[in-house]
Amino acid sequence: SAVISQKPSRDICQRGTSLTIQCQVDSQVTMMFWYRQQPGQSLTLIATANQGSEATYESGFVIDKFPISRPNLTFSTLTVSNMSPEDSSIYLCSVRTGAHSGNTIYFGEGSWLTVV
């Protein structure tokens, strides 16, 4: 398994501001993912963060709104830009362990953002 730490764990943000969420993994991983869970909803993939290349965004998510950095194999950041109340969610970092497909994807504790 992997130990995944996220910061901040919780924050209250003002409308129009931006916040960067950090994700630290205790081992080197090739693929890191960022998910979002809005209140009462399921988990939705925002983007896949690959080291050494641009992040790959899912439909409905754009780099200008959710810029991602992946400077090395153990760390990634997700920025939520120009926040609105609709961005109030839990943001989750996840990693896939192992070199072969089918290995388990583990999640961090999440970052709970409330936009006021």
Contacts to another protein by CB under 8 A: 1, 4, 6, 10, 31, 33, 41-45, 48, 56, 58, 90, 92, 94, 96, 101-110, 112
How far is Cα 51 from Cα 88, in angstroms, rounded to an integer? 27
Closest approach, Cβ 95 to another protein, in A, equals 11
Our measurement of the distance from residue 22's CA atom to the centroid of its chain's CA atoms, rounded to an integer in Å, reads 8
Our measurement of the distance from residue 113's CA atom to the centroid of its chain's CA atoms, rounded to an integer in Å, reads 12
What is the signed CA dihedral for 9, 13, 15, 17, rounded to 10 degrees? -80
Q: Which is nearer to another protein, 75 or 112 (CB)?
A: 112
Closest approach, Cβ 89 to another protein, in A, equals 11
Q: Which is nearer to another protein, 45 or 65 (CB)?
A: 45
Q: Are 47 and 55 in contact (CB under 8 A)?
A: yes
Q: Which is nearer to another protein, 90 or 115 (CB)?
A: 90
